[in-house]
Amino acid sequence: MQIRTTAAVLKASHDIGRGDRIAYLGFNSPEMLVLFFACARLGALLLPLNWRLTLSEQTYILENAAARILVCDDDHVTIGHQLSETLPGCEICNHADIATAIDDTQGRVTRNPHVDLTTPVLLVYTSGTTGQPKGAVLTQEAVLFNALNSVHMHDLDISDHILTVLPMFHVGGLNIQTTPALYVGATVTLQRRFEPAMVLSAIRDLRPTRLVLVPATIMALAEHPDFKTTDLGSIRSLTTGSTIVQKSVIDIFHDRNVPVIQNYGLTETGPVALYLRIDDAFSHVGSTGRGALHTRFRIVDDEDRDVPAGQSGELLLQGPNVLSEYWGDPAATREALQDGWFRTGDIGYCDTDGYVYINDRKKDVVISGSENIYPAELEYVLDQIEGLAEAAVVGMPDSKWGEVPVAVIVLEAGHDIDHATLLSCFNGVLARFKHPKAVVRVDALPRNVMGKVLKHELRGLLADGTLVPD
């Protein structure tokens, strides 16, 4: 009823038609999901805005998408009105404006004609690590088949209770479990935003069966004083991903006998594209799993030839869950979608049993001399070193080798480590040419809202001399 009413208000009061963009700025809420499904009925696109972005970043996205309406929750109405000063063509509304009661929807239009599975329904902007963000367009078919992939991944059914704590302005929070759970009729509890104490309280009191966390939020939970005493027995599986997940992070829940299953995907893939299932959680730690039920993958070399098992190459994906285009950017669309395959830009390999392991982002690979060095290999070694809170490896320009790997480290409180001792940990583990050539200490690694380390920022700081190796 709420979805029909919202669709009727959008049509009658705002003349929303097929293809119109409706932006949402707010914390996780049932109203956001109602708006999403109302958009689906009308053939409109929901544009979830990252509330952590600056006004200028949000303005760019709204202008690029030519949003008709920006719906804000009560916490973001003031920001909405600030945005309206530079967006005269975008109407600003709050929840109450859209949820206006209509006593009788009989005779009112609650669904536009010519809306089907090929109709775009979701417009999500990527983080823009290589320039301005791009808007990935997902059709209703993409959202449906993403849900089917997730149902198979998690064995979701009506008995499940999903605790959604990641922001739904990302497809990870919206589509890994939340919308798939609604598809099968499971229970969903939304938390407005991630707060460790609130998550642990919900696990204790509501007894959810599944949730999604990224490495940064796993660490935040583990560091909370109530984590060790919180009963995790109701959790059938914990899903993680978004970046390469170190074994030490996975072990936080494995040590509590909670299976950790990795999902691999991007904004452009719904995101569910590769995954582990529960039966593989403890036996394939570090793998992002096999191809999803409705997604094919290839791993290719620089000549687009399939590589043999065990050899690294670029991961390509194909399936109905993949984006149809980048909004208003045909050049980027042609670059990403080639011969029916989506080029992820990620480097990985497949073992003889069909399990995929991700080495790194293609653009994060360090090319030193003629050798490719995958930072994830070095970061695995750094992860084992006592006293390091976190670490990342990036390339730094070098006059002789082109670039060399540099370890950027964050020390745990009260710990110190000699750089020679740190570098000696690589002896006999990795080939000499892969070893870091320098170490840089920082107070914290730059991360985006999903916990991904922003390696392009570290590379830039090393290249311009802002960060100088010790």
Distance CA 90, CA 232 (A): 45
**Are 232 and 318 part of one and the same domain?**
yes
**Are 300 and 355 part of one and the same domain?**
yes
Distance CA 241, CA 264 (A): 6
Domain, as residue range, for 422: 367-463
**Are 153 and 195 part of one and the same domain?**
yes
Distance CA 123, CA 312 (A): 32
- In the three-class reduction of DSSP (H, G, I as helix; E, B as strand; rest coil), residue 75 is classed as helix
Rounded to whole angstroms, what are the CA distances from 467 to 24, 60, 342, 462? 38, 30, 35, 5
**Are 64 and 86 part of one and the same domain?**
yes
What is the pLDDT at residue 141? 98
Q: How many CB atoms neighbour CB 370 within 10 A?
A: 8
User: What size, in residues, is the chain?
Assistant: 470
What is the pLDDT at residue 432? 85
**Are 185 and 202 part of one and the same domain?**
yes
In a domain, 328, yes or no: no
Distance CA 26, CA 73 (A): 5
Kindly give the interhelix angle for 77-84 and 55-65, rounded to the nearest 10 degrees. 60
Handedness of CA 450, 44, 192, 150 (dihedral sign): negative
CATH number where 229 lies: 3.40.50.12780
Distance CA 274, CA 294 (A): 10
What is the pLDDT at residue 101? 53
What is the pLDDT at residue 314? 94
Distance CA 209, CA 187 (A): 10
Distance CA 167, CA 189 (A): 13
In a domain, 427, yes or no: yes
Number of domains forming the structure of the chain: 3
**Are 147 and 98 part of one and the same domain?**
no
Can you give the pTM of this predicted structure?
Answer: 0.84
**Are 278 and 162 part of one and the same domain?**
yes
* Omega within 30 of 0 (cis) for the link into 271: yes
In a domain, 128, yes or no: no
Distance CA 406, CA 425 (A): 14
- How would DSSP label each residue in 252-309? HHHTTT--EEEEE--GGG-S-SEE--GGGTTTSTT--BEE-TT-EEEEE-TTSPBPPT
Express each pLDDT in 181-238 by its tens digit: 999 999 999 999 999 999 999 999 999 999 999 888 998 999 999 999 999 999 999 9
Q: What is the mean pLDDT of each run of 10 residues along the chain (470 residues)?
A: 90 92 97 97 96 88 96 95 90 81 58 91 79 90 98 98 96 97 98 97 98 91 96 98 84 97 95 97 96 98 95 96 97 96 94 92 79 85 92 89 91 91 91 90 86 86 83
**Are 184 and 296 part of one and the same domain?**
yes
In a domain, 329, yes or no: no
**Are 290 and 164 part of one and the same domain?**
yes
**Are 243 and 351 part of one and the same domain?**
yes
CATH number where 21 lies: 3.40.50.980
User: Counting beta carbons within 10 angstroms of the beta carbon of residue 187, is it exposed (0 to 12), middle (13 to 18) or buried (19 or more)?
Assistant: middle
Rounded to whole angstroms, what are the CA distances from 124 to 80, 102, 328? 18, 30, 13
In a domain, 145, yes or no: yes
Closest to 263 (Cα-Cα) out of 179, 347, 356? 356
Q: Which residues contact 157 (CB under 8 A, 6 or more apart)?
A: 184, 186
In 293-414, DSSP assigns E strands to 296-300, 313-318, 325-326, 337-338, 341-350, 356-361, 366-368, 371-373, 388-398, 402-411
What is the pLDDT at residue 106? 56
CATH number where 442 lies: 3.30.300.30
**Are 260 and 146 part of one and the same domain?**
yes
Angle in degrees, CA 175, 270, 392, rounded to 5:
95
Distance CA 233, CA 120 (A): 40
Q: Which residues contact 132 (CB under 8 A, 6 or more apart)?
A: 60, 64
Distance CA 42, CA 189 (A): 26
In a domain, 436, yes or no: yes
In a domain, 380, yes or no: yes
Q: Which residues contact 306 (CB under 8 A, 6 or more apart)?
A: 298, 299, 300
In a domain, 336, yes or no: no
**Are 208 and 312 part of one and the same domain?**
yes
